[in-house]
Structure 1
Protein backbone atom coordinates (compact mmCIF):
# COMPACT_ATOMS: atom_id res chain seq x y z
CA UNK A 1 0.00 0.00 0.00
CA UNK A 2 1.53 3.36 -0.98
CA UNK A 3 2.64 5.78 1.73
CA UNK A 4 0.88 9.06 1.07
CA UNK A 5 1.59 11.13 4.19
CA UNK A 6 4.75 13.00 5.16
CA UNK A 7 5.06 11.28 8.55
CA UNK A 8 4.68 7.86 6.96
CA UNK A 9 7.37 8.55 4.37
CA UNK A 10 9.73 9.87 7.04
CA UNK A 11 9.14 6.81 9.21
CA UNK A 12 9.78 4.51 6.23
CA UNK A 13 13.12 6.23 5.58
CA UNK A 14 13.98 6.15 9.28
CA UNK A 15 13.43 2.39 9.36
CA UNK A 16 15.34 1.92 6.11
CA UNK A 17 18.32 3.73 7.67
CA UNK A 18 18.02 1.72 10.89
CA UNK A 19 17.71 -1.69 9.25
CA UNK A 20 19.83 -0.88 6.18
CA UNK A 21 17.08 -2.18 3.95
CA UNK A 22 16.31 -0.25 0.76
CA UNK A 23 12.73 0.81 0.00
CA UNK A 24 10.93 1.70 -3.21
CA UNK A 25 11.30 5.33 -4.34
CA UNK A 26 8.41 7.53 -3.26
CA UNK A 27 8.16 8.86 -6.81
CA UNK A 28 7.28 5.39 -8.08
CA UNK A 29 3.85 5.77 -6.52
CA UNK A 30 3.56 9.52 -7.06
CA UNK A 31 5.68 10.97 -9.89
CA UNK A 32 4.29 14.46 -9.14
CA UNK A 33 6.27 14.75 -5.90
CA UNK A 34 8.67 17.68 -6.02
CA UNK A 35 11.37 19.43 -4.02
CA UNK A 36 8.97 20.96 -1.48
CA UNK A 37 7.53 17.51 -0.76
CA UNK A 38 11.03 16.15 -0.30
CA UNK A 39 11.99 18.83 2.20
CA UNK A 40 8.80 18.24 4.18
CA UNK A 41 9.75 14.56 4.54
CA UNK A 42 13.38 15.46 5.29
CA UNK A 43 12.31 17.79 8.10
CA UNK A 44 10.24 15.06 9.75
CA UNK A 45 13.03 12.48 9.25
CA UNK A 46 15.54 14.83 10.89
CA UNK A 47 13.16 15.26 13.82
CA UNK A 48 13.08 11.48 14.30
CA UNK A 49 16.87 11.19 14.11
CA UNK A 50 17.51 14.05 16.54
CA UNK A 51 15.07 12.49 18.98
CA UNK A 52 17.51 9.57 19.18
CA UNK A 53 20.21 11.93 20.48
CA UNK A 54 22.01 12.86 17.28
CA UNK A 55 22.85 16.49 16.44
CA UNK A 56 23.32 18.69 13.40
CA UNK A 57 26.93 19.90 13.01
CA UNK A 58 26.56 21.49 9.58
CA UNK A 59 25.02 21.03 6.16
CA UNK A 60 25.81 19.36 2.87
CA UNK A 61 24.94 20.63 -0.57
CA UNK A 62 24.19 18.14 -3.32
CA UNK A 63 23.61 18.57 -7.04
CA UNK A 64 26.28 21.27 -7.18
CA UNK A 65 27.61 20.13 -10.56
CA UNK A 66 25.90 20.80 -13.88
CA UNK A 67 25.87 17.12 -14.96
CA UNK A 68 24.04 16.08 -11.77
CA UNK A 69 21.57 18.94 -12.12
CA UNK A 70 20.83 17.97 -15.70
CA UNK A 71 20.36 14.33 -14.67
CA UNK A 72 17.62 15.25 -12.19
CA UNK A 73 16.18 18.10 -14.24
CA UNK A 74 16.98 20.98 -11.87
CA UNK A 75 19.05 24.14 -12.08
CA UNK A 76 20.09 24.51 -8.44
CA UNK A 77 21.47 22.37 -5.60
CA UNK A 78 19.70 20.61 -2.77
CA UNK A 79 20.76 20.28 0.85
CA UNK A 80 20.63 18.09 3.93
CA UNK A 81 22.07 18.14 7.45
CA UNK A 82 25.43 16.76 8.45
CA UNK A 83 24.86 14.62 11.55
CA UNK A 84 27.44 14.30 14.31
CA UNK A 85 27.13 10.51 14.35
CA UNK A 86 28.26 10.26 10.73
CA UNK A 87 31.64 12.04 10.96
CA UNK A 88 34.92 10.11 10.73
CA UNK A 89 38.52 11.32 11.05
CA UNK A 90 41.37 11.07 8.60
CA UNK A 91 42.65 7.49 8.48
CA UNK A 92 39.62 5.93 10.15
CA UNK A 93 38.09 2.62 9.14
CA UNK A 94 34.55 2.75 7.78
CA UNK A 95 32.39 -0.36 7.49
CA UNK A 96 30.36 -0.95 4.33
CA UNK A 97 27.91 -2.72 6.61
CA UNK A 98 26.81 0.65 7.96
CA UNK A 99 25.29 1.53 4.57
CA UNK A 100 23.06 0.10 1.86
CA UNK A 101 24.81 1.04 -1.41
CA UNK A 102 27.64 3.42 -0.52
CA UNK A 103 29.65 5.52 -2.93
CA UNK A 104 32.56 7.85 -2.23
CA UNK A 105 33.16 11.45 -3.34
CA UNK A 106 36.05 13.81 -2.60
CA UNK A 107 34.94 17.28 -1.53
CA UNK A 108 36.16 20.54 -0.05
CA UNK A 109 34.68 21.25 3.38
CA UNK A 110 34.38 24.83 4.58
CA UNK A 111 34.14 25.67 8.28
CA UNK A 112 32.00 28.60 9.40
CA UNK A 113 33.72 31.10 11.70
CA UNK A 114 31.00 33.73 12.04
CA UNK A 115 27.23 33.42 11.91
CA UNK A 116 25.90 33.69 8.36
CA UNK A 117 22.20 34.28 7.85
CA UNK A 118 20.32 34.95 4.63
CA UNK A 119 18.74 36.47 2.67
CA UNK A 120 21.13 38.58 0.65
CA UNK A 121 24.35 36.68 1.44
CA UNK A 122 26.97 37.11 -1.29
CA UNK A 123 30.09 35.13 -2.13
CA UNK A 124 32.14 37.89 -0.49
CA UNK A 125 30.01 37.60 2.65
CA UNK A 126 30.61 33.85 2.64
CA UNK A 127 34.37 34.28 2.32
CA UNK A 128 34.38 36.71 5.27
CA UNK A 129 32.37 34.28 7.42
CA UNK A 130 34.38 31.13 6.62
CA UNK A 131 37.27 30.37 8.97
CA UNK A 132 38.93 27.86 6.65
CA UNK A 133 38.82 24.88 4.33
CA UNK A 134 39.65 21.21 4.82
CA UNK A 135 40.12 18.07 2.73
CA UNK A 136 37.24 15.63 2.99
CA UNK A 137 35.41 12.72 1.45
CA UNK A 138 31.68 12.14 1.58
CA UNK A 139 30.16 8.68 1.60
CA UNK A 140 26.83 9.02 -0.15
CA UNK A 141 24.17 6.36 0.28
CA UNK A 142 20.61 5.87 -0.87
CA UNK A 143 17.89 4.29 1.16
CA UNK A 144 16.02 3.72 -2.12
CA UNK A 145 16.42 0.57 -4.21
CA UNK A 146 19.32 0.62 -6.70
CA UNK A 147 19.83 4.38 -6.40
CA UNK A 148 16.66 4.73 -8.49
CA UNK A 149 16.01 8.27 -7.33
CA UNK A 150 14.33 11.40 -8.55
CA UNK A 151 14.60 14.83 -6.98
CA UNK A 152 11.94 14.37 -4.28
CA UNK A 153 13.49 11.05 -3.28
CA UNK A 154 17.03 12.27 -2.73
CA UNK A 155 15.88 15.46 -0.98
CA UNK A 156 13.74 13.48 1.45
CA UNK A 157 16.68 11.11 2.05
CA UNK A 158 18.93 13.82 3.54
CA UNK A 159 20.29 14.59 0.07
CA UNK A 160 21.62 10.99 0.00
CA UNK A 161 24.08 11.74 2.79
CA UNK A 162 25.68 8.74 4.47
CA UNK A 163 28.85 9.88 6.25
CA UNK A 164 31.90 12.10 5.90
CA UNK A 165 35.64 11.79 6.52
CA UNK A 166 37.38 15.06 7.29
CA UNK A 167 40.97 16.13 7.77
CA UNK A 168 41.83 17.80 11.08
CA UNK A 169 43.80 20.48 9.22
CA UNK A 170 41.68 23.57 8.48
CA UNK A 171 43.50 26.08 6.28
CA UNK A 172 42.52 29.79 6.30
CA UNK A 173 41.41 31.07 2.91
CA UNK A 174 43.67 34.15 2.82
CA UNK A 175 45.34 34.44 -0.59
CA UNK A 176 43.69 31.20 -1.82
CA UNK A 177 41.42 31.04 -4.84
CA UNK A 178 39.42 28.03 -3.72
CA UNK A 179 38.05 27.51 -7.24
CA UNK A 180 41.53 26.48 -8.36
CA UNK A 181 42.25 23.91 -5.66
CA UNK A 182 43.00 20.67 -7.49
CA UNK A 183 42.27 17.17 -6.19
CA UNK A 184 43.53 13.66 -7.01
CA UNK A 185 41.63 10.63 -5.75
CA UNK A 186 43.36 7.24 -5.53
CA UNK A 187 42.15 3.77 -4.56
CA UNK A 188 44.86 1.47 -3.21
CA UNK A 189 47.40 3.84 -4.72
CA UNK A 190 45.88 3.80 -8.22
CA UNK A 191 44.38 6.92 -9.79
CA UNK A 192 40.58 6.97 -9.75
CA UNK A 193 39.66 10.54 -10.68
CA UNK A 194 40.64 14.19 -10.47
CA UNK A 195 38.76 17.40 -9.85
CA UNK A 196 38.96 21.05 -8.85
CA UNK A 197 37.07 23.37 -6.54
CA UNK A 198 35.24 25.04 -9.40
CA UNK A 199 33.26 21.81 -9.96
CA UNK A 200 31.16 22.78 -6.92
CA UNK A 201 28.73 25.41 -8.28
CA UNK A 202 31.63 27.25 -9.90
CA UNK A 203 32.99 28.21 -6.48
CA UNK A 204 32.61 26.39 -3.14
CA UNK A 205 31.99 29.77 -1.50
CA UNK A 206 28.97 30.17 -3.78
CA UNK A 207 27.67 26.94 -2.21
CA UNK A 208 27.96 28.51 1.26
CA UNK A 209 26.15 31.64 0.10
CA UNK A 210 23.40 29.56 -1.52
CA UNK A 211 22.96 27.52 1.65
CA UNK A 212 22.84 30.60 3.87
CA UNK A 213 20.18 32.20 1.69
CA UNK A 214 18.14 29.01 1.28
CA UNK A 215 18.20 28.12 4.98
CA UNK A 216 17.66 31.76 5.91
CA UNK A 217 14.27 31.64 4.22
CA UNK A 218 13.31 29.13 6.94
CA UNK A 219 14.88 31.15 9.75
CA UNK A 220 17.99 28.96 9.99
CA UNK A 221 21.50 30.42 10.17
CA UNK A 222 24.90 28.88 9.52
CA UNK A 223 26.58 29.00 12.93
CA UNK A 224 30.25 29.18 13.99
CA UNK A 225 31.73 25.69 13.86
CA UNK A 226 29.30 24.38 11.27
CA UNK A 227 30.96 22.29 8.56
CA UNK A 228 29.70 22.81 5.03
CA UNK A 229 30.16 20.01 2.52
CA UNK A 230 30.33 21.86 -0.77
CA UNK A 231 29.74 19.06 -3.27
CA UNK A 232 31.55 16.36 -5.19
CA UNK A 233 34.48 17.29 -7.41
CA UNK A 234 34.10 14.13 -9.55
CA UNK A 235 31.72 11.26 -10.25
CA UNK A 236 30.80 9.15 -7.21
CA UNK A 237 32.79 5.90 -6.86
CA UNK A 238 31.18 2.67 -5.56
CA UNK A 239 33.24 1.42 -2.62
CA UNK A 240 33.91 -2.07 -1.29
CA UNK A 241 35.51 -3.66 1.75
CA UNK A 242 39.28 -4.02 1.50
CA UNK A 243 39.84 -0.75 -0.35
CA UNK A 244 41.74 2.31 0.83
CA UNK A 245 40.96 5.73 -0.60
CA UNK A 246 43.11 8.83 -0.45
CA UNK A 247 42.14 12.29 -1.68
CA UNK A 248 45.03 14.73 -2.09
CA UNK A 249 44.19 18.41 -2.41
CA UNK A 250 46.40 21.29 -3.48
CA UNK A 251 47.16 23.46 -0.42
CA UNK A 252 44.71 21.57 1.83
CA UNK A 253 46.69 18.33 2.16
CA UNK A 254 45.17 14.86 2.09
CA UNK A 255 42.52 12.72 3.73
CA UNK A 256 42.23 8.93 3.67
CA UNK A 257 39.85 6.18 4.72
CA UNK A 258 40.00 2.38 4.90
CA UNK A 259 36.89 0.44 3.91
CA UNK A 260 36.20 -2.69 5.97
CA UNK A 261 33.40 -5.27 6.22
Structure 2
Protein backbone atom coordinates (compact mmCIF):
# COMPACT_ATOMS: atom_id res chain seq x y z
CA UNK A 1 0.00 0.00 0.00
CA UNK A 2 1.36 3.43 -0.90
CA UNK A 3 1.71 6.25 1.61
CA UNK A 4 -1.10 8.28 0.03
CA UNK A 5 -3.58 5.48 0.71
CA UNK A 6 -2.29 5.01 4.25
CA UNK A 7 -2.71 8.72 4.96
CA UNK A 8 -6.21 8.66 3.47
CA UNK A 9 -7.27 5.90 5.87
CA UNK A 10 -5.54 7.66 8.77
CA UNK A 11 -7.43 10.85 7.97
CA UNK A 12 -10.72 8.94 7.83
CA UNK A 13 -10.11 7.46 11.26
CA UNK A 14 -9.08 10.81 12.72
CA UNK A 15 -12.21 12.47 11.34
CA UNK A 16 -14.30 9.63 12.81
CA UNK A 17 -12.58 10.21 16.17
CA UNK A 18 -13.22 13.96 16.19
CA UNK A 19 -16.81 13.68 14.94
CA UNK A 20 -17.83 10.73 17.11
CA UNK A 21 -18.84 8.68 14.07
CA UNK A 22 -17.91 5.21 12.85
CA UNK A 23 -16.61 4.05 9.50
CA UNK A 24 -16.80 0.71 7.73
CA UNK A 25 -13.95 -1.75 8.41
CA UNK A 26 -10.83 -0.99 6.41
CA UNK A 27 -10.30 -4.71 5.82
CA UNK A 28 -13.70 -4.90 4.11
CA UNK A 29 -12.50 -2.30 1.60
CA UNK A 30 -8.92 -3.42 1.14
CA UNK A 31 -8.17 -7.14 1.35
CA UNK A 32 -4.44 -6.46 0.91
CA UNK A 33 -4.19 -4.33 4.07
CA UNK A 34 -1.27 -5.64 6.16
CA UNK A 35 -0.45 -5.10 9.83
CA UNK A 36 2.50 -2.97 8.74
CA UNK A 37 0.14 -0.83 6.66
CA UNK A 38 -2.17 -0.61 9.67
CA UNK A 39 0.65 0.59 11.90
CA UNK A 40 1.50 3.40 9.45
CA UNK A 41 -2.19 4.35 9.25
CA UNK A 42 -2.32 4.51 13.04
CA UNK A 43 0.84 6.58 13.19
CA UNK A 44 -0.65 9.11 10.77
CA UNK A 45 -3.84 9.26 12.86
CA UNK A 46 -1.81 9.83 16.04
CA UNK A 47 0.28 12.50 14.32
CA UNK A 48 -2.97 14.33 13.54
CA UNK A 49 -3.81 14.22 17.26
CA UNK A 50 -0.38 15.57 18.19
CA UNK A 51 -0.70 18.35 15.63
CA UNK A 52 -3.96 19.32 17.35
CA UNK A 53 -2.27 19.56 20.75
CA UNK A 54 -2.10 16.05 22.22
CA UNK A 55 1.15 14.83 23.77
CA UNK A 56 2.16 11.16 23.69
CA UNK A 57 2.59 9.87 27.27
CA UNK A 58 2.94 6.14 26.64
CA UNK A 59 1.90 3.06 24.74
CA UNK A 60 -0.65 0.32 25.08
CA UNK A 61 -1.02 -3.32 24.29
CA UNK A 62 -4.46 -4.77 23.79
CA UNK A 63 -6.29 -7.99 22.91
CA UNK A 64 -3.84 -9.94 25.08
CA UNK A 65 -6.20 -12.21 27.03
CA UNK A 66 -8.19 -15.12 25.63
CA UNK A 67 -11.42 -13.63 27.01
CA UNK A 68 -10.95 -10.42 25.01
CA UNK A 69 -9.69 -12.23 21.91
CA UNK A 70 -12.79 -14.42 21.91
CA UNK A 71 -15.08 -11.40 22.38
CA UNK A 72 -13.57 -9.50 19.45
CA UNK A 73 -12.62 -12.51 17.31
CA UNK A 74 -9.09 -11.08 17.09
CA UNK A 75 -6.51 -13.65 18.08
CA UNK A 76 -3.28 -11.72 18.46
CA UNK A 77 -2.34 -8.58 20.42
CA UNK A 78 -2.60 -5.06 19.06
CA UNK A 79 -0.66 -1.93 19.98
CA UNK A 80 -1.06 1.84 20.02
CA UNK A 81 -0.17 5.17 21.58
CA UNK A 82 -1.77 6.95 24.55
CA UNK A 83 -1.85 10.72 24.98
CA UNK A 84 -2.32 13.19 27.80
CA UNK A 85 -5.84 14.04 26.67
CA UNK A 86 -6.84 10.40 27.12
CA UNK A 87 -5.70 10.43 30.78
CA UNK A 88 -8.27 10.88 33.57
CA UNK A 89 -7.93 10.86 37.34
CA UNK A 90 -9.11 8.09 39.64
CA UNK A 91 -12.81 8.53 40.47
CA UNK A 92 -13.33 11.22 37.85
CA UNK A 93 -16.53 11.52 35.83
CA UNK A 94 -15.89 11.10 32.12
CA UNK A 95 -18.37 12.70 29.73
CA UNK A 96 -19.18 10.27 26.93
CA UNK A 97 -20.28 13.06 24.59
CA UNK A 98 -17.46 15.51 25.31
CA UNK A 99 -14.85 12.81 24.74
CA UNK A 100 -16.52 11.59 21.54
CA UNK A 101 -16.84 8.07 22.89
CA UNK A 102 -18.90 6.08 20.39
CA UNK A 103 -19.17 2.48 21.62
CA UNK A 104 -17.02 2.40 24.78
CA UNK A 105 -16.07 -0.71 26.74
CA UNK A 106 -14.22 -0.77 30.07
CA UNK A 107 -11.38 -3.16 30.87
CA UNK A 108 -9.28 -3.63 33.99
CA UNK A 109 -5.50 -3.64 33.61
CA UNK A 110 -2.12 -3.25 35.29
CA UNK A 111 -0.27 -0.14 34.13
CA UNK A 112 3.52 0.26 34.23
CA UNK A 113 5.38 3.56 34.68
CA UNK A 114 8.95 3.42 33.44
CA UNK A 115 12.07 4.92 35.02
CA UNK A 116 14.39 3.90 32.17
CA UNK A 117 14.19 3.73 28.40
CA UNK A 118 13.51 0.35 26.79
CA UNK A 119 14.46 -0.20 23.17
CA UNK A 120 13.54 -3.40 21.36
CA UNK A 121 14.11 -5.86 19.89
CA UNK A 122 15.73 -8.13 22.48
CA UNK A 123 13.85 -6.80 25.54
CA UNK A 124 13.22 -9.49 28.19
CA UNK A 125 10.82 -9.72 31.11
CA UNK A 126 13.74 -8.99 33.45
CA UNK A 127 14.58 -5.88 31.41
CA UNK A 128 11.01 -4.69 31.85
CA UNK A 129 11.12 -5.32 35.59
CA UNK A 130 14.38 -3.40 35.98
CA UNK A 131 13.10 -0.48 33.87
CA UNK A 132 9.80 -0.14 35.74
CA UNK A 133 9.40 2.43 38.49
CA UNK A 134 5.92 1.41 39.69
CA UNK A 135 2.81 -0.47 38.62
CA UNK A 136 -0.72 0.85 39.12
CA UNK A 137 -4.30 -0.37 38.83
CA UNK A 138 -5.91 0.95 35.66
CA UNK A 139 -9.18 1.18 33.77
CA UNK A 140 -8.80 1.53 30.04
CA UNK A 141 -11.96 2.56 28.22
CA UNK A 142 -11.49 1.21 24.73
CA UNK A 143 -13.54 2.54 21.84
CA UNK A 144 -13.71 1.74 18.16
CA UNK A 145 -14.15 4.02 15.20
CA UNK A 146 -14.99 0.87 13.22
CA UNK A 147 -18.74 0.30 12.92
CA UNK A 148 -20.18 -2.11 15.48
CA UNK A 149 -16.69 -3.34 16.51
CA UNK A 150 -16.48 -5.36 13.26
CA UNK A 151 -12.71 -5.52 13.48
CA UNK A 152 -9.89 -7.68 12.32
CA UNK A 153 -6.39 -7.20 13.70
CA UNK A 154 -5.51 -4.73 10.92
CA UNK A 155 -8.59 -2.60 11.72
CA UNK A 156 -7.82 -2.25 15.41
CA UNK A 157 -4.11 -1.55 14.85
CA UNK A 158 -5.01 1.11 12.26
CA UNK A 159 -7.46 2.61 14.78
CA UNK A 160 -4.65 3.12 17.32
CA UNK A 161 -5.52 -0.14 19.07
CA UNK A 162 -9.09 1.06 19.68
CA UNK A 163 -7.85 3.63 22.21
CA UNK A 164 -10.44 5.67 24.06
CA UNK A 165 -9.42 7.02 27.47
CA UNK A 166 -7.82 5.60 30.62
CA UNK A 167 -7.81 6.04 34.39
CA UNK A 168 -4.93 5.25 36.76
CA UNK A 169 -5.53 4.38 40.40
CA UNK A 170 -3.89 6.43 43.13
CA UNK A 171 -1.77 3.54 44.46
CA UNK A 172 1.64 2.88 42.92
CA UNK A 173 3.73 -0.14 43.95
CA UNK A 174 7.25 -1.36 43.21
CA UNK A 175 6.70 -4.40 40.93
CA UNK A 176 9.53 -6.25 42.69
CA UNK A 177 7.20 -6.49 45.70
CA UNK A 178 4.47 -8.26 43.71
CA UNK A 179 3.84 -11.66 42.15
CA UNK A 180 2.42 -10.13 38.98
CA UNK A 181 1.02 -13.28 37.31
CA UNK A 182 -0.88 -14.19 40.48
CA UNK A 183 -2.42 -10.80 41.22
CA UNK A 184 -6.19 -11.16 41.47
CA UNK A 185 -8.56 -8.53 40.07
CA UNK A 186 -12.25 -8.01 40.78
CA UNK A 187 -14.32 -5.66 38.63
CA UNK A 188 -17.61 -4.09 39.71
CA UNK A 189 -20.29 -2.32 37.67
CA UNK A 190 -22.76 -0.17 39.57
CA UNK A 191 -21.74 -1.94 42.76
CA UNK A 192 -22.14 -5.51 41.48
CA UNK A 193 -19.26 -7.91 40.87
CA UNK A 194 -19.21 -8.67 37.13
CA UNK A 195 -15.85 -10.32 36.46
CA UNK A 196 -12.62 -11.60 37.98
CA UNK A 197 -9.20 -12.18 36.47
CA UNK A 198 -5.54 -12.72 37.22
CA UNK A 199 -2.31 -11.17 36.01
CA UNK A 200 -1.55 -14.35 34.13
CA UNK A 201 -4.45 -13.58 31.76
CA UNK A 202 -2.13 -11.34 29.73
CA UNK A 203 0.28 -13.67 27.95
CA UNK A 204 0.96 -15.54 31.19
CA UNK A 205 2.58 -12.50 32.85
CA UNK A 206 2.14 -8.73 32.39
CA UNK A 207 5.94 -8.48 32.10
CA UNK A 208 5.78 -10.76 29.05
CA UNK A 209 3.15 -8.54 27.45
CA UNK A 210 5.17 -5.36 28.00
CA UNK A 211 8.32 -7.02 26.66
CA UNK A 212 6.37 -8.13 23.56
CA UNK A 213 5.19 -4.58 22.97
CA UNK A 214 8.68 -3.12 23.43
CA UNK A 215 10.05 -5.59 20.90
CA UNK A 216 7.20 -5.15 18.44
CA UNK A 217 7.44 -1.36 18.43
CA UNK A 218 11.23 -1.63 18.38
CA UNK A 219 10.94 -3.21 14.95
CA UNK A 220 9.35 0.05 13.80
CA UNK A 221 12.03 2.15 15.49
CA UNK A 222 9.73 3.24 18.33
CA UNK A 223 11.32 3.10 21.83
CA UNK A 224 9.76 3.17 25.28
CA UNK A 225 10.90 6.28 27.14
CA UNK A 226 11.53 6.85 30.85
CA UNK A 227 8.42 8.38 32.42
CA UNK A 228 6.03 6.77 29.95
CA UNK A 229 2.99 4.77 31.02
CA UNK A 230 2.51 1.35 29.43
CA UNK A 231 -0.91 -0.30 29.56
CA UNK A 232 -0.36 -4.05 29.60
CA UNK A 233 -3.76 -5.42 28.55
CA UNK A 234 -7.03 -6.46 30.14
CA UNK A 235 -7.26 -9.19 32.77
CA UNK A 236 -11.03 -9.49 32.30
CA UNK A 237 -13.67 -9.39 29.53
CA UNK A 238 -14.58 -5.98 28.12
CA UNK A 239 -17.70 -4.40 29.60
CA UNK A 240 -19.91 -2.01 27.56
CA UNK A 241 -20.62 1.22 29.43
CA UNK A 242 -22.98 4.16 29.02
CA UNK A 243 -23.80 7.40 30.85
CA UNK A 244 -24.82 6.69 34.42
CA UNK A 245 -22.56 3.68 34.86
CA UNK A 246 -19.92 3.50 37.57
CA UNK A 247 -17.02 1.04 37.22
CA UNK A 248 -14.58 0.09 39.95
CA UNK A 249 -11.88 -2.51 40.36
CA UNK A 250 -9.61 -3.83 43.05
CA UNK A 251 -6.37 -5.74 42.67
CA UNK A 252 -5.21 -7.61 45.74
CA UNK A 253 -1.92 -6.12 46.91
CA UNK A 254 -1.98 -3.30 44.36
CA UNK A 255 -5.02 -1.11 44.96
CA UNK A 256 -8.19 0.21 43.37
CA UNK A 257 -9.42 2.38 40.52
CA UNK A 258 -12.84 3.77 39.65
CA UNK A 259 -14.57 5.83 37.00
CA UNK A 260 -18.05 7.30 36.50
CA UNK A 261 -19.57 7.92 33.07
CA UNK A 262 -21.58 11.07 32.42
CA UNK A 263 -23.56 12.36 29.49
Q: Which runs of 5+ in 2 are unaligned?
A: none
User: Structure 1 stretches (4+) deviating beyond 6 angstroms?
Assistant: none
Deviations for 1:158-201, whole angstroms, at most 9, x for unmatched residues? 10010001113210012311111111111121111111111111
Distance 1:146 1:91 in 2: 28
Q: Report the TM-score, using the length of structure 1 for normalisation.
A: 0.94
Pairing 1:211-230 to 2, within 5 Å after superposition: 211-230=213-232
CA deviation after TM superposition for structure 1 residue 34, in Å: 2.4
Total equivalences in the alignment:
257
DSSP 3-state at the match of 1:234: coil
Q: Residue 31 of structure 1 corresponds to which residue in structure 2?
A: 31
DSSP 3-state at the match of 2:177: coil
Q: Residue 51 of structure 1 corresponds to which residue in structure 2?
A: 51
Distance 2:157 2:249 in 1: 26
CA deviation after TM superposition for structure 1 residue 139, in Å: 0.3
Deviations for 1:38-71, whole angstroms, at most 9, x for unmatched residues? 1110111111111111111000001212354466
DSSP 3-state at the match of 1:185: strand
Distance 2:32 2:221 in 1: 27
Distance 1:140 1:175 in 2: 29
Tell me if the contact between 2:113 and 2:135 (Cα under 8 Å) persists in the aligned partners.
yes
Q: Residue 241 of structure 2 corresponds to which residue in structure 1?
A: 239
Q: Report the TM-score, using the length of structure 2 for normalisation.
A: 0.93
Deviations for 1:107-136, whole angstroms, at most 9, x for unmatched residues? 110111111111211111111111111011
Distance 1:66 1:190 in 2: 23
Distance 1:73 1:17 in 2: 22
* 2:28 is equivalent to residue 22 of structure 1: no
Tell me if the contact between 1:34 and 1:151 (Cα under 8 Å) persists in the aligned partners.
no
Distance 1:14 1:187 in 2: 30
